[in-house]
Amino acid sequence: MSGNVQLLADTLAAAKAEDRAALIAYLPAGFPTVDGGIAAIKAVFDGGADVVEVGLPHSDPVLDGPVIQTADDIALKGGVRIADVMRTVREAHAATGKPVLVMTYWNPIDRYGVERFTAELAEAGGAGCILPDLPVQESDLWREHAGKHGLATVFVVAPSSKDERLATITAAGSGFVYAASLMGVTGTRASVGAQAKELVERTRATGTALPVCVGLGVSDAAQAAEVAGFADGVIVGSAFVKRLLDAPDEAAGLAAVRELAGELADGVRKRG
C-alpha cells in the first residue's frame, strides 16, 4: 500500500490496537458553503473523529435520508463542483494529517472521467472512495485506476447481500467494508437493530482482513457505544449534518459538530 490508503489502514489499525472502534464522520462538500464545509470537517476532526468521508453532492441521492438530501440541495444550489470536492479533501487533509475519503455515486465519476478523478483525488491527498452504487462486477476500470494511484475502494454491503456476494465484495474491496445495516435510506434512528451485528458477522465470515465499519443512523454516544461493541468503525453522517442545519450561524454549527464528535469519540471507546 502507498500514500494515504496506508494512512487509512494505519488509522483503523491504531483504533483496533486501542481496543475501540474508529469514529468515521460524513459531511457533504459545499455545505453550508465550500469554506464552511472545510471548516466543519476540521471541527469534526478536532472533536475526535478518526476518518472523514466527504460527500459529493448529487441531485438524486437515492440512498440518503432527508437530512443529507437537504444539505446536498443547499450545496448544489451554491454551485458546488467536483473541483470544490477535491479542494475540500486537500485542505481538510493538509490541515489535519488525517485520512479523508470521498463518498459518491458512480455517475459523476463516469461523466468526469475515471482516470482524471482518481489522479486528482490522489493529488489532493485523498485516501480513497466509497462507491455505494457501483456493482463490484462492473468495477474493474475504477479499481485499476484507483490501485494505480494508491486509493482505497470501499464497497457497501447490506443485509440483503447474499453470502456469495459478500465474499466477492470483500475480495475486491480495500480500505474497509461499509456495512449499511438498514435497508433503504440512511438517517438517524432511535435504536440500533440486531440486523447490523448479523451483517458484520456475515461479512467477517468471508475471511476478509478488512475492517467492517457500520453506518446505520447513529446519533448519540450510547448508540455509538452499542455499534462499537461489534463493528470496527462507527460511521455517522446525518447527525452531524443535522447539527449544522439546526445551528443559527456558522460558528454555532462548528461548535455543535465539534461537540458531537467529542461525545461520539467517547462512545466508541465505551463499547456496548
Which residue, chain included where needed, has cell 475486491?
172
Q: Which of 10, 18, 35, 64 is catalytic?
A: 64
Residue 188 DSSP SS3: coil
Q: Which of 53, 72, 91, 120 is catalytic?
A: 53
Whole-number average pLDDT of the chain? 93
128 phi and psi angles, rounded to 5 deg: 160, -165
Kindly provide the residue ranges of all beta strands, DSSP E only, lying in 100-211, ordered along the sequence. 100-103, 128-130, 152-154, 156-157, 177-180
Which residue, chain included where needed, has cell 440486523?
195
Of 36, 35, 87, 77, nearest in space to 57 by CA: 77
Rounded Cα distance between 174 and 155, Å, is: 8
Handedness of CA 158, 163, 165, 167 (dihedral sign): positive
Residue 234 DSSP SS3: strand
pTM (2 d.p.)? 0.95
How sure is the predictor about 184, in pLDDT bands with cuts at 50, 70 and 90? very low
pLDDT digits (tens, 9 = 90+) for 58-90: 877 566 788 999 999 999 999 999 999 999 999
- What fold characterizes domain 2-267? TIM Barrel (3.20.20)
pLDDT digits (tens, 9 = 90+) for 24-43: 999 999 999 999 999 999 99
Amino acid code (one letter) for 155: F
Annotated catalytic residue 120: no
Radius of gyration of the chain (CA): 17
Q: How confident is the model at residue 215, as a pLDDT?
A: 92
Annotated catalytic residue 53: yes
Spell out the domain ranges in the chain. 2-267
pLDDT above 80: residue 182 = no
Rounded Cα distance between 85 and 64, Å, is: 18
Rounded Cα distance between 75 and 260, Å, is: 22
Nearest-5° Cα angle at 114, 113 to 116 = 65
